[in-house]
Amino acid sequence: SRIALADLNGSTGFRINGEAEDDLSGFAVAGAGDINGDGINDLIIGAWGGDENGRPNNGASYVIFGKDTTEDGVSFASSIDVSALDGSDGFRVFGGNSGDESGFAVSSAGDINGDGIDDLIIGAPLADSRGNNTGVSYVVFGKNTGEDDVSFDAEIDLAALTSAEGFRITGANNGDQSGIAVAAAGDVNGDNIDDLIIGAWGTDVNGTTNNGSSYVIFGRNEDNGFAEGVNLARLEAHQGFRIIGEDTNDLSGWAVAAAGDINNDGFDDLIIGAYGHDANGRLDSGTSYVVFGRDNDHFSIDATTAELRFKPGEAIYDNNTNGSNDGEYTVTVVASSRSSLPFGTTRTTSKDYIVEVLEPIMGTDGVTDSGTATYIAGLDEVI
């Protein structure tokens, strides 16, 4: 038995054709959840080569609304023209700037803002938000179009995305290509709000090149909780966390996805692909990593383990990425500072840890106060 795609006729399926030459429509495709709140699933298609609104290669994404074809007289046409989407049957999302390649990655974001309607995430890995090819990911909020005076426009221009329509997640550094992969993450931290994950395969961390990173962004249900967007260079503990690739040229974060609750502990888990990793000495054999979800209050940092992989003075969250504890930027945690202490004093024995807590955390060392700096001497502390 087989299905010939040329024979799809609307009752057996349908085609969605790209708008123009070199659009590369269909490079990325995904289920969109139920973004218009009608109880029927929708879908999204990425076309990163699109030249929309006079912007070469800004890219485009197309959302097609689902239909209940069990109702009399309701069906899909054999072919859908995305240029004709008018907001009632779907809509188009245009990249913000030339060369952004928006639509390289597309996915449902789950219900990231806790309003009961599914949302979308679109990756634009070559967007120059903070430098060359830092990348931007855009979340577009769903709407309940069954309510009075609620509808989607035929077009959403990401250059003019408002806080009512969604928000931007901007990459951290040149060449990170944040948004090369995007996905719904399920509920990783167990707060009953969906989270999302973004891959940035080009990051250079801990003295490596292209080891890659992935970022988990926690959902929020407070009013306008994402009004200012998310800056991955300043990601704070209450916003999410970063997952750093192991070695040079691992390209960790090329692929990211929810893994469901693979260990059956009640928290959704993650899976991250690093196809460039040399596992067990085998060149480019690749590795996939499963990261278990857990309660926010029990994320821990163990100063006794080598897995921290920090060089002296480096920060788990350090906005200017220079490992400084000079107060130039607010940090969440600075770890493994072998010889520096706050305010210019020094220490040369053992390993020392400077911890600045922006939000209360649980730990064996009793660090719970917000906005304090705590000095920990020695190797036997876990926070």
The per-residue pLDDT for range 90-117, each reduced to its tens digit, is 999 999 999 999 999 999 999 999 999 9
Prediction pTM value: 0.79
Number of domains in the chain: 2
Same domain, 179 and 325: no
Contact 27, 92 (CB under 8 A): no
Return the pLDDT at 225.
80
Query: Cα dist. 66→34, 35, 70, 174 in Å?
Result: 8, 10, 12, 39
Return the pLDDT at 297.
58
Q: Residue 363 contacts by C-beta under 8 Å, 6 or more apart in sequence?
A: 300, 382, 383
Of 25-29, 297-301, 303-307, the range with the highest mean pLDDT is: 25-29
Residues 92 and 44: their CA atoms lie apart, in Å, by 10
Question: Binning pLDDT at 50, 70 and 90, where does residue 1 land?
Answer: confident
The per-residue pLDDT for range 324-346, each reduced to its tens digit, is 333 333 334 444 443 333 434 33
For 98, the domain range is 1-298
Compute φ and ψ for 107, nearest 5 degrees.
-170, 160
Residues 41 and 139: their CA atoms lie apart, in Å, by 18
The residue that leads in pLDDT, 129 or 268, is: 268
Q: Average pLDDT, whole number, for the chain?
A: 83
Contact 170, 111 (CB under 8 A): no
The CATH number of whichever domain residue 258 belongs to comes to 2.130.10.130
Same domain, 322 and 223: no
Same domain, 145 and 26: yes
Return the pLDDT at 295.
84
Same domain, 318 and 189: no
Same domain, 37 and 72: yes
Same domain, 150 and 291: yes
Same domain, 7 and 24: yes
Same domain, 99 and 113: yes
Same domain, 210 and 269: yes
